[in-house]
C-alpha cells in the first residue's frame, strides 16, 4: 500500500519549490517508515514545503505531519500533508499503523526511549585493607621492658616489619578504633560513661595544656619558624611523666621509661621544633601500650577516639599555634593537612551513614560551625580554614577539596584506610623513625642500633646528625638544620604566618582572597 504526497503550492514563508530531487523524497518517505521500495514514479508529487536537514517528526497537527530541520539555509518550519493511498470502494485501510484518512500513525513505529545505562564506576586497583583481629594483651611476666629505639635501619628491616605480627597489631588497633565510632558523634559519649583510666588520661592532657599556657613563647621579632621555648615546655612535660603514669597504676621505672617514650614523642620533635603525622601516630602507640598493659580495654575504644583523641587535638592546636611548630614535611606526609591525618580517618567513620551531611558540606561555613564540635572531620576542616592566610580550600588544601567530590563518606573512609597503610606503614622514610620496645616488639632479624648511639630522635640536637634513608632506600646523614628530603623541606608554618598577621592587625577576621576566586 502506498501513500501519495499531496500538492502544496507555497511555503510558510511564501516561497514555492517546483523541483524536488529523489534524495529528498527518499528522506521524507523513509522518515515515515513506509514499507516497500521508494520510486519517484509511484508518487504524485507537485511541490513540497521543506527545510530539509535529516528529517525528524515534530508533531501531528490537524492531519499534517510537521518536520523540523535545516537544509539549504531555509530557516523555517515545513509541513508535508500526506494523502491516503488511492482506494477503490472495495478497499479498506486495514494496514497496521495507518490511521483513517491515510495519516500514518507513528505511535507503534517510533522506537521506545531507553534509559541510558550508567557506566560502572572505575574500581580502585588498591584493595581495601581489612581489619586484622586484635590479639589479647601479652603476658607481662614474659616481657623485659626497655627504652624503645629505632630498628628499621634498612629496606630489608622494613620488609621484615611489614610481614611481622607487630604490623598487624598496629593496623588492628587503629582500624579497631575507627570502627568503634561509626555513626557516633562526640556528644554521644557522656561523662558518666567514661572509665577511670580514660578520666585519668584526660586529666593528663589537661595538665599538658596548663604547662603550655604557663610557658609563653619568646618574642622572635616576627619570625615564623619554631619558637625555642617549645623545648622548655617539653622539659616540663617530661618531669611529670613519673607522676602521670603513677596515676595510671604504673610504678615500675622500667615500664614507665618504655611507655613514656611514646608520649614524649607525641608533642613534636625537640630539636627541629616541628610536628607531623608521625608524632600523632606515637600518641596512638602510647594508647596501644596502655592496652598491652591491660590498663584500657576494648570497651574504652569509643571513648578513646571521641573524648581522648579529640582532647589531644585541642591540646596540639594550642601547642602548634603557641610555638609555631613547623610541619614535619611539606604539607604533611599525606598532603591532607600540615600536621594531622587521623582526624580525617576517624571523622569519616563518624559520618559514614549520616542522613544529610555530605562530603560537599565541608564547603559550607554554617555546617562547619554547627557540627564541627561533634564530628572531627568537620571540626578539623574548620581549624584548617582558621589557620590559613587565604580563603578557600582549593587554594590552601587542594587534596581536601578534591576529596569533597566523593559520592559518599564510605569512599572517603576507605580511601583514608588505604592512605594509612600505603603512605605511612609501607613508606620507609616514615617508618624509619618508628620506635620498638617490648610492648610493640621488633621482628626477629631486624637490625639493632649501636648501643653507644642515641636511642631516638630527641637527641638529634645533641648528636648533630642521624643516619636515615631517603625515598629510594639510600642511607644518608640527616643534619637537624638541613633540607633533607627524608623529613621534608624545612618550611615555616602557615599557622605562624596567620598568627603574625593577626598580631600586626593584618587580615584579622577577613582573609585575603586569591585573584579570580
Q: Which regions of 178-226 does DSSP assign to beta strands (E)? A: none
Identify the pLDDT of residue 505: 60
Identify the pLDDT of residue 169: 97
Q: Closest Cα partner for 381 from 335, 352, 347, 425?
A: 347
pTM for the complete prediction? Answer: 0.70
Identify the pLDDT of residue 75: 37
Burial of 436 (0-12, 13-18, 19+ CB in 10 A): buried
Per-residue cell: 441: 616488639
Identify the pLDDT of residue 223: 66
Identify the pLDDT of residue 502: 58
- What lies within 8 Å, CB to CB, of 39 at 6+ separation is none
CA distance 186 to 262: 25
CA distance 269 to 283: 13
Residue pointed to by grid coordinates 557516633: 184
Identify the pLDDT of residue 1: 34
Please say whether the beta carbons of 161 and 286 come within 8 A: no
Identify the pLDDT of residue 5: 39
Give the DSSP per-residue string, 10-67: --TTS-------HHHHHHHHHHTT-SS---GGGS--S------SS-EEEEEETTEEEE
Q: Which regions of 69-167 does DSSP assign to beta strands (E)? A: 78-80, 82-83, 149-150
- CA distances, 451 to each of 150, 151, 203, 374, 480 (Å): 11, 12, 36, 47, 21
Residues across the chain: 517
The series of mean pLDDT values per 10 residues for the chain, 517 residues long, is 37 42 50 41 38 39 39 38 43 51 70 75 77 93 94 93 96 96 94 95 97 89 77 95 95 95 93 87 96 96 96 94 80 63 94 94 92 94 81 79 91 93 86 93 87 48 46 50 44 57 54 42
Q: What are phi and psi of 429, to 5 degrees?
A: -60, -25
Q: Classify 82 as helix, strand or coil.
A: strand
Amino acid at each position: 500500500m502506498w501513500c501519495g504526497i499531496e500538492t502544496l503550492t507555497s511555503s510558510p514563508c511564501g516561497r514555492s519549490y517546483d523541483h524536488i530531487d529523489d534524495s529528498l523524497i527518499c528522506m521524507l518517505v523513509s522518515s515515515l517508515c513506509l514499507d516497500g521500495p521508494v520510486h519517484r514514479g509511484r508518487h504524485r508529487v507537485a511541490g513540497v514545503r521543506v527545510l530539509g536537514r535529516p528529517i525528524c517528526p515534530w508533531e501531528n497537527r490537524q492531519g499534517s505531519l510537521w518536520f523540523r530541520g535545516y537544509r539549504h539555509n531555509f530557516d523555517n518550519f515545513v509541513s508535508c500533508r500526506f494523502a491516503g493511498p488511492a482506494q477503490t470502494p472495495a478497499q479498506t485501510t486495514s494496514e497496521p499503523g495507518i490511521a483513517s484518512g491515510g495519516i500514518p500513525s507513528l505511535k507503534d513505529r517510533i522506537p521506545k526511549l531507553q534509559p541510558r545505562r550508567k557506566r560502572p564506576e572505575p574500581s580502585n586497583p588498591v584493595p581495601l585493607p581489612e581489619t586484622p583481629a586484635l590479639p589479647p594483651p601479652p603476658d607481662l611476666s614474659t616481657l623485659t621492658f626497655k627504652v624503645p629505639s629505632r630498628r628499621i635501619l634498612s629496606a630489608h628491616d622494613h620488609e621484615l616489619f611489614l610481614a611481622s605480627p607487630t604490623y598487624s597489631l598496629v593496623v588492628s588497633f587503629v582500624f579497631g578504633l575507627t570502627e568503634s565510632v561509626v555513626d557516633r558523634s562526640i556528644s554521644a559519649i557522656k561523662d558518666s560513661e567514661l572509665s577511670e583510666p580514660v578520666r585519668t588520661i584526660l586529666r593528663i592532657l589537661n595538665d599538658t595544656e596548663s604547662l603550655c599556657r604557663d610557658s609563653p613563647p619568646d618574642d622572635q621579632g616576627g619570625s615564623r619558624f619554631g619558637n625555642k621555648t617549645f623545648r622548655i615546655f617539653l622539659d616540663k612535660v617530661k618531669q611529670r611523666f613519673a607522676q602521670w603514669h603513677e596515676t595510671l597504676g604504673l610504678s615500675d621505672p622500667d615500664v614507665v621509661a618504655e611507655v613514656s617514650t611514646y608520649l614524649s614523642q607525641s608533642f613534636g620533635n625537640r630539636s627541629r621544633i616541628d610536628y607531623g603525622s608521625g608524632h600523632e601516630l606515637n600518641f596512638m602507640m602510647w594508647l596501644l601500650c596502655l592496652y598491652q598493659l591491660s590498663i584500657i580495654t576494648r570497651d574504652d575504644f569509643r571513648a578513646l577516639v571521641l573524648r581522648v583523641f579529640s582532647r589531644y587535638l585541642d591540646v596540639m592546636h594550642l601547642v602548634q599555634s603557641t610555638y609555631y611548630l613547623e610541619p614535619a614535611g611539606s604539607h604533611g606526609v599525606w598532603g591532607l593537612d600540615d600536621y594531622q591525618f587521623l582526624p580525617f580517618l576517624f571523622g569519616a567513620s563518624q559520618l559514614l551513614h549520616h542522613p544529610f551531611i555530605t562530603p560537599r558540606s565541608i564547603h559550607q561555613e554554617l555546617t562547619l560551625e554547627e557540627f564541627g564540635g561533634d564530628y572531627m572531620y568537620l571540626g578539623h576542616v574548620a581549624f584548617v580554614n582558621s589557620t590559613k592566610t587565604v580563603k578557600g580550600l582549593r587554594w590552601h588544601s587542594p587534596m581536601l577539596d578534591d576529596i569533597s567530590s566523593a559520592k559518599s563518606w564510605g569512599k572517603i573512609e576507605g580511601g583514608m584506610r588505604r592512605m594509612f597503610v600505603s603512605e605511612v606503614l609501607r613508606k620507609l622514610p616514615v617508618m624509619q623513625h618508628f620506635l620498638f620496645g617490648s610492648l610493640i616488639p621488633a621482628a626477629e632479624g631486624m637490625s639493632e642500633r649501636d648501643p653507644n648511639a642515641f636511642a631516638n630522635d630527641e637527641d638529634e640536637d645533641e648528636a648533630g646528625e642521624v643516619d636515615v634513608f631517603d625515598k629510594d632506600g639510600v642511607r644518608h646523614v640527616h643534619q637537624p638544620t638541613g633540607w633533607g628530603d627524608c623529613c621534608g623541606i624545612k618550611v615555616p608554618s602557615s599557622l605562624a604566618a596567620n598568627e603574625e598577621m593577626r598580631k600586626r592587625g593584618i587580615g584579622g577576621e577577613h582573609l585575603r582572597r586569591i585573584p579570580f576566586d
